Amino acid sequence: MTTRDIQLDDDGRLRHLLTIEGLKRPILTDILDYAENFAPGPGQSVKKVPLLRSKTIANLFFEASTRTRTTFELAAKRLSADVLNVNINTSSTVKGESLLDMLRNLEAMHCDMFVVRHSRSGAAHFIARHVAPHISVINGGDGSHAHPTQAMLDMFTIRRHKGDFTRLRVAIVGDILHSRVARSQIHALTTLGVPEVRVIGPHTLIPNDAEKLGVHVFHDMEAGLRDCDVVIMLRLQRERMSGALLPSEAEYFSCYGLTPAKLALAKPDAIVMHPGPINRGVEIASEVADGPQSVILEQVTNGIAVRMAIMAMTLGRHRGAESGESEGGT
Amino acid sequence: MKRVHIQGGHLVDPANGIDAPRDLFIAEGRVVAVGEAPAGFAADHRIDARGLTVVPGLVDLQARLREPGQEHKATIASESAAAAAGGITTLCVPPDTEPVIDTPAVVELIHQRAEAAGRAHIVPLGALTRALEGQQLSEMAELQRVGCVGMSNARRPVSNTLVLRRALEYAASHGITVFLQPCDAHLASEGCAHEGSISARLGLPGIPASAETVAVAQILMLIEQTGTRVHFGQLSTARAASMIARARYDGLPISADVAAHHLHLTDMDIGYFNSNCHVEPPLRSERDRDGLRAALARGTLDAICSDHQPHDADAKLAPFCDTEPGISALETFLPLALRLVTDGVLALPDLVARLTCQPADILGIDAGRLGVGDRADVCIFDAGDHWRVTGEALVSRGRNTPFEGWDLQGRVTHTLLDGRLVYSA
């Protein structure tokens, strides 16, 4: 690799969160531990904390998203930050030039953090490389590349249910090829010590050389789910039907949809996850999505706590457990 | 015109089998003697080439100069100067200018601008199909008559195989060489990086190796049928190179080149979305790079080209796939080629052949050799001189180089065009 990780500052602390790849286990553990502070226990209400008072966070959404933007916004507000939502019609900013001009304008408004969602892989890195030194960039999803906050909230949810990452078998099912969520999950799971990560889907939706990401590839869902502790279903974009990637939703569901019968092949206490929004009857049956093993809504709740932790850490108020020293491991 | 004496240099002229200390004597823009001065030769100008290497001016099979049409990126004048600084004396330009080179007027314009700039010979390729649209044949005979050295569809693959077949047949009837950059548009689709572990990791839409090999296979079959002389440009995969080797063995009238960056970089160099590594065809795997090097050494690949594509800064300021592909490559061309000698890929005379007489033969032009009577296009360089690449210091208007910060060995000291000094360091 050419340069040091631009995500870290000179002291090795998290400055931007662009991708999970390359982050060491203590930093990930640090995020999960810190997020515990913001996650209410059963029956507790969430308190607003003054950690980011007088900070301004701009949500730059070049791609429509209600859920992710809302949880980022809630997280920022609970940290007492001012929030600016900027929805940008991508067609008006196809030129990198105007994208940079826009960043300069927002910098001039004294923003401290950009949360970026963009349809192109590498957009968050591009922006991080061009912002003023005091600004932190959080990747809220870039193309098919990465969605690190989603992956961290998933790790948080898994840890709450399963405790020890180093004994788990995790399956990720569906459109791996186009999924930024899957890529970030794979990096997070392998970094946190999960010994076996499986990806399940038809060859058209799994990248060639996927094994080099450290996963086992299965085209047969029954075989892939056997004895798994965690089953992560991915959303299937409707447009995949048009690109000769799949024949039909019905055939996809019959091969790769999660039904109670298929779930029964996983461990009895396996949890079912989904980054949402779910397509009932396409990738997951309603009985499973709403069933006792599903933690899908919990993921949403945890998303706020984890994003609070990441925002607080990157804006430098949290000195953390001095990530360099503390050996990770839960 | 001046008489020039290049004194004390080490001459490498593969076309004439010379790799030895030889003086060079030039008059009226031509070489008049090699070794001993002709009787009564009085030099007006003497170049002290002691410790330097003297080779024929380099012949670059593919360079985009951006004129006409994209003068905000570069001009014929600016890039001719960059070529001279890189020891390149002949530039072959593809037809994808704006307007496209499909009428004599555009050829005329390019010739005029080249002459006014006076730093390099510029030989254009005409459009194989009208407006490069892949539907109607261009007026190839007319384009050839006004100076196009071949026909090409640039980076716009002719996807209709019937049109391609007829274009090849028509070119063959006029003895025209067709230059093709093999790419199956459907397989390449919206891709912007080699399909492999790096594109999988970065979530970049991939261009599979099969986008190249499928196109090569298709073109080879059509050549078998039509007998057209075809040059394959900028091969990027080892597999395509081995297909070319096989087809040459079978006697097909073909040749091939590789761009210098494909001999040095791989998709790994993209790192985290370095847009200066966005090129077409994409940087491939290490195995491809090694296979291309081997094919170059064996002679399957006849030439190295720069595939020069200067860009304005904005063209590279965007998320990776939204940036424009290409590298500003004229000034790193020779040192990157020389690195192949250092790396033990091939010997200096063999390398020089792939930069001079062999590409000249593919173009069918009088260039790339320094025998008595040849045009005095000369490149003189200091093989031992190290320099560090910085985009800002390039003569080219394009600063887009993925070699930023590289220490390269070999620096051009003098370039002569028709016996005239057009560059000196």
CB pairs A-B closer than 8 Å: 88
Residue B288 in any domain: the answer is: yes
- C-alpha dihedral, B214 to B262 to B417 to B370, nearest 10°: -80
Quote ipTM for the complex.
Answer: 0.89
Number of H helices, E strands in chain A: 11, 9
Q: Does B186 touch chain A (CB under 8 A)?
A: no
Nearest-angstrom CA–CA distance, A272 and A162: 12
- A102: pLDDT strictly greater than 90: no
CB contact under 8 A, A123 and B319: yes
Residue B322 in any domain: the answer is: yes
pLDDT at A42: 73
**Structural tokens at position B415:** 């370039």
Nearest-angstrom CA–CA distance, B342 and B337: 9
Q: What is the DSSP letter of A198?
A: E
Residue B272 in any domain: the answer is: yes
CB contact under 8 A, A96 and B205: no
- A327: pLDDT strictly greater than 50: no
Residue B327 in any domain: the answer is: yes
Q: Tell me the per-residue pLDDT of A17-29, one tens digit each, with 9 for 90 and over.
A: 999 999 999 999 9
Q: Tell me the per-residue pLDDT of A139-196, one tens digit each, with 9 for 90 and over.
A: 999 999 999 999 999 999 999 999 999 999 999 999 999 999 999 999 999 999 999 9
Residue B179 in any domain: the answer is: yes
Q: Which residues of B are catalytic?
A: 307
DSSP-H helix ranges across chain A: 25-36, 67-78, 96-108, 123-130, 148-162, 180-191, 221-225, 249-256, 260-263, 286-289, 296-314
**DSSP state letters, A5-59:** -TTB-TTS-BS-B--STT--HHHHHHHHHHHHTTS--TTPPPPP--TTTT-EEEE
Which band of pLDDT confidence, cut at 50, 70 and 90, is reported for residue A90?
A: low
User: B160 is in which domain, residue-wise?
Assistant: 58-363
Residue type, A226: R
pLDDT per residue rounded down to tens, chain B (425 residues): 589 999 999 999 999 999 999 999 999 999 999 999 999 999 999 999 999 999 999 999 999 999 999 999 999 999 999 999 999 999 999 999 999 999 999 999 999 999 999 999 999 999 999 999 999 999 999 999 999 999 999 999 999 999 999 999 999 999 999 999 999 999 999 999 999 999 999 999 999 999 999 999 999 999 999 999 999 999 999 999 999 999 999 999 999 999 999 999 999 999 999 999 999 999 999 999 999 999 999 999 999 999 999 999 999 999 999 999 999 999 999 999 999 999 999 999 999 999 999 999 999 999 999 999 999 999 999 999 999 999 999 999 999 999 999 999 999 999 999 999 999 99
Which band of pLDDT confidence, cut at 50, 70 and 90, is reported for residue A214?
A: very high
Residue B196 in any domain: the answer is: yes
Q: Tell me the per-residue pLDDT of B133-164, one tens digit each, with 9 for 90 and over.
A: 999 999 999 999 999 999 999 999 999 999 99
- A103: pLDDT strictly greater than 50: yes
CB contact under 8 A, B271 and A180: no
Q: Does B406 touch chain A (CB under 8 A)?
A: no
| CATH number of the domain that residue B223 is part of | 3.20.20.140
Q: Which residue of A has its CA nearest to B209?
A: A208
Q: Decide: A56 and A81 in contact? Cβ < 8 Å.
A: yes
Name which of A95, A99, A146 is nearest B203 (Cβ-Cβ). Answer: A146
Contacts of B201 in chain A (CB under 8 A): 21, 183, 212-213
**Total of domains in chain B:** 1
Q: Does B203 touch chain A (CB under 8 A)?
A: yes
pTM for the model? 0.93
